[in-house]
Amino acid sequence: MDLHFLGGATTVTGSQFLLETGRARILIDCGMFQGSPNESVRNRVPFAFEPSQLDAVVLTHAHLDHCGLLPVLVREGFSGPIHCTAGTAELARLVLLDSGKLHEQFAKREARWEKRHPDRVEADDRAEADAYEAAVALAAEGNAVPSEATVMASDAASDPEVALRGQPPAVEIDLDTPLYTQDDAEAVIPLFRPIDYGSELEVASGVHATFLDAGHILGSAIIRLRIAADGERPERVIVVSGDLGRPNTPIIRDPTVLDAADYVLVESTYGGREHEPSDEAVRVLAETVRLVDEANGVLLIPSFAIGRTQEIVWQLDRLIEQGAIPQLPLYLDSPMASKASDIYRKYVDYFDEETGALLRSGDTPLDYPNQIITNDVEDSKAISRAPRPYMIVASNGMLTGGRVVAHLRDLIGDPSATLLFVGYQGEGTLGAHLQAGTKSARIEGQDHVVRCKIRSIGGFSAHADEPELLAWLGNFARGRRSGDVGFPRLVFLVHGDPEAQIALEPKVRELGFEVHVPRWHERVELR
């Protein structure tokens, strides 16, 4: 059986792994590449397989970097089941429809830009085409080059057919059309097949899947695949971590501890890094609210709509309950976040002990007292006229778009306002520049002097940091040695940038495992 690493290989985004057994073909995640143009152009590279020939998709969770290419997969001919938890199915619907809308808007904006700059169209199109060609070439290289996991992959490497099969077909691609539309996204929804955590299902002939809590966002799962014996190869268990959350974070249950597998695919986003303790994060949050209150100011929190917003609201609600902060009015200004919160409230059975107990005691931990939800654009604009002090939580989390940008434009020059970052700021984003202390910032084409206060909290991550990743992996080695049944034969580091993976790899080896960092489009034979 083969694993083909079609995304999330030396990148954080684009998770996509194809598992081929003699009897079945399963796709694990079908994520979108995000980030730099050179990375996002990979979304245009044709699938390395015929979508109609797939038996099933198993989906770890609803973030776009895991589900965002499903509309393309379905448009290209996939019509089988997409297995995921019910929470993931609902959140993915929300995320994919929004993404389809955004892709249509991007394409329209691009067309307008081309109309205004006819002299630059040719160069722009050529640059895009070059980036695309480079991505296709890189994929072909990954397909053709013998795998470095030599012990496991010697057969695949010596078989020239394998490389040939992996070549993407030569097709003409119009890079100016939307990657997909809302209609394409809509077509995915009927294919979702919700499954309960912990129950095993045969998702394709000889492939049994179990979804276990990953503790990352609502509905997120670690997927355990049990592959039936085939000829000389005995039954094998493959564990795919998906995005691994952190123990002891609020709302949803902690990541499941697993202690036996033959192969493990583990995410490595925070390889080489350690988060600040969550107590410290909550302390800074409380202190910031108090300072904004004293200054009679405004607190603006850019936040991702799914996961982070719910956690921040949960923390603020707890702090009020404890009397640690004054109860400032809170504006929740993100229609996407409100819809996500509605989905969170529905899945009470996914909650951890603490949040479950709060609910049973009559508390509403996913709601801030008297929060003001603004769905309408006019209501959003009216927030700036509200009596101070008050707080706004708005999307998106990196200030790259969404309603938060308009609030920032109004507040950036205001010394009594505070901008509080509660999440990772991607390289090159406005958020990253402000975090780095830039004195002036360009917002919607206008330069603004930065006079507001800027604070950052690093401790609210939804991803395990390095010690947490190693602790989770360490469970597979407990009480066993290399060669024992249940001791992983190989650990693959996926979903990480090269620097993070280089930092993490030796430490995973120290646990006693063979480790492999697959390249994009590399195929590895699993025995």
Q: Which residues bind Zn ion (CB under 5 A)?
A: 63, 65, 243
- The set of residues, in sequence order, having a beta carbon less than 8 Å from that of 349 and lying 6+ positions away, is none
Question: Cβ 240 to Zn ion, closest distance in Å?
Answer: 12
Strand order in the sheet with 263-267: 200-204, 207-213, 221-227, 236-240, 263-267, 490-494, 515-516
In the complex with Zn ion, the residue whose CB is nearer, 255 or 389, is: 255
Question: Cβ 196 to Zn ion, closest distance in Å?
Answer: 21
Say which amino acid occupies 258.
L
In the complex with Zn ion, the residue whose CB is nearer, 63 or 521, is: 63
Beta bridge partners of 373: 332
Question: Cβ 512 to Zn ion, closest distance in Å?
Answer: 27
In the complex with Zn ion, the residue whose CB is nearer, 58 or 298, is: 58
User: Cα–chain-centroid distance for residue 255?
Assistant: 16
Residue whose entry in the numeric block shows the structure tokens 């129950």: 199
Say if CB 490 and CB 476 are below 8 A apart: no
In the complex with Zn ion, the residue whose CB is nearer, 25 or 61, is: 61
Question: Cβ 65 to Zn ion, closest distance in Å?
Answer: 4
Question: Cβ 463 to Zn ion, closest distance in Å?
Answer: 8
| C-alpha to C-alpha distance for 249 and 365, rounded to whole angstroms | 14
Q: Token pair for residue 360?
A: 């049973």
| C-alpha to C-alpha distance for 508 and 77, rounded to whole angstroms | 39
The SS3 call for residue 346 is helix
Largest CA distance in the chain: 73
Provide the Cα torsion 286, 289, 293, 299; round to 10°: 180
In the complex with Zn ion, the residue whose CB is nearer, 25 or 63, is: 63
In the complex with Zn ion, the residue whose CB is nearer, 63 or 93, is: 63
Question: Cβ 328 to Zn ion, closest distance in Å?
Answer: 30
In the complex with Zn ion, the residue whose CB is nearer, 374 or 501, is: 501
In the complex with Zn ion, the residue whose CB is nearer, 156 or 265, is: 265
Strands 446-449 and 440-443: antiparallel
Question: Cβ 248 to Zn ion, closest distance in Å?
Answer: 19
Say if CB 342 and CB 399 are below 8 A apart: no
Please give the radius of gyration of the chain, using alpha carbons only, rounded to the nearest integer. 24
Question: Cβ 64 to Zn ion, closest distance in Å?
Answer: 9
